[in-house]
Amino acid sequence: LTESLRAVIAQAPNVDIVEGDALKLDLGKFGAGNLVANLPYNIASTVVLKTLQEAAGISRLTVMCQKEVGGRMAAGAGGKDYGITSVLIARHGRAVVVARIARNAFYPVPNVDSVIVKVVRHEAPIAVNDESFKRVVKAAFAQRRKGLRSSLAPVAGNVRAAEELLTGAGIRPHARAEELDLEQFVALARGLTPELPRA
């Protein structure tokens, strides 16, 4: 396919072909621009997150993915699809489902429906320790049925420390992960790394 594509765009000097595994490519070397992709459905959210984390020059992503995956990418606090993926993407930009594509639009007909998701990067990065943010988000959603006082105990040190962390961020100790918005997750991560300057 690559050779066929090279022949097609041979007369287009503004097009470069980069062949490789998207999960292994150094995305940081790409300059400013937008990403438009029909992603492999089994790695769609992983590629989107990798792009947002590594390719600071990419200001907008428009991707096609499985309906359920797109729903998780764009979900907001309180929604049934809201989870780890939703929050990690929201840290970098705003994701919106802009189109729905029925399975019968493809041949052969797949077993899933598809959506097109647009992610627009925040103009200013959110200042928060990356590792602390990921640890807080993943721990919070690891046991969705439990209150955050229990869920965050492993990252805070113990239940009492988790309660102090939550109280310091203005969050009820027995609140659940799906109730928290991006700002509250950021506040919790900053509570673990208070020395980080605020943006």
Whether residue 90 lies inside any domain: the answer is yes
- Is there a single domain that holds both residue 100 and residue 161? no
Query: Which tokens sit at 163?
Result: 């309660």
Whether residue 4 lies inside any domain: the answer is no
Residue 17's pLDDT band (cuts 50, 70, 90) = confident
Distance in angstroms (rounded) separating the CA atoms of residues 48 and 125 = 17
Of 75, 99, 121, which residue is a domain's last?
121
Over residues 35-86, the pLDDT tens digits come to 999 999 999 999 999 999 999 999 999 999 999 999 999 999 998 999 999 9
pTM of the complete model: 0.89
For residue 143, what are the CA distances in angstroms to 45, 106, 146, 199?
Answer: 21, 37, 6, 30
pLDDT averaged over every residue in the chain:
92
What is the domain-level CATH number for residue 88? 3.40.50.150
For residue 71, what are the CA distances in angstroms to 14, 79, 114, 121, 138?
Answer: 34, 10, 10, 18, 18
Q: Say if residues 25 and 18 touch (Cβ distance below 8 Å).
A: yes
Domain span at residue 116?
15-121
- Is there a single domain that holds both residue 105 and residue 184? no
- Is there a single domain that holds both residue 43 and residue 92? yes
